[in-house]
Amino acid sequence: MPPKTFTLEEIRQHHDNKSCWVIIHDKVYDVTKFLDEHPGGEEVLIEQSGKDATDAFEDVGHSTDARELMKQYYIGDVAEKDKSSAPKPPKTTGSTEEPPKGGAPFWLVAALLSLGVALVYRFFFAAESNQA
């Protein structure tokens, strides 16, 4: 059985704590029963209700568990005529490589190296001054 479809006009009518629907990736979720349980508070969901909340959802960086939990609130899809015109690429932070772990930050290495050079310089010049 194909999923039920909803127009934006229908979805916009569900924008309060009595009936709270959100759109995420062109799928419609009735999160009314989840309002009290949402870790970010019900205000966050109500603010995004009745409209496309995809960007807000992705900006927060929800966990895999949160994405699994969403499935139980799925009620249908956005009507084809109201779907986002172009698919949005996944947001990236620039590099796909993870930063190295466990290493000291560059500024710390540079500071320690500078301190070492200063101490060595002082030690040798202090030794020459005392011999003269």
Percentage of the chain beyond pLDDT 90 is 57
Position 106 scores a pLDDT of 73
State mean pLDDT over 74-101: 66
Question: Among all chains, which residue has been given the structure tokens 């320690």?
Answer: 112
Pairing relation of β-strands 19-24 and 15-16?
Answer: antiparallel
Position 104 scores a pLDDT of 63
State mean pLDDT over 78-93: 65
pTM: 0.63
What are the E-state strand segments in 4-87?
5-6, 15-16, 19-24, 27-30, 74-78
Q: Tell me the per-residue pLDDT of 39-59, one tens digit each, with 9 for 90 and over.
A: 999 999 999 999 999 999 999
**How is the beta sheet containing 27-30 ordered, strand by strand?**
5-6, 74-78, 27-30, 19-24, 15-16
Span of 33-42, 63-72, 74-83, 94-103 with lowest mean pLDDT: 94-103
State mean pLDDT over 52-74: 93
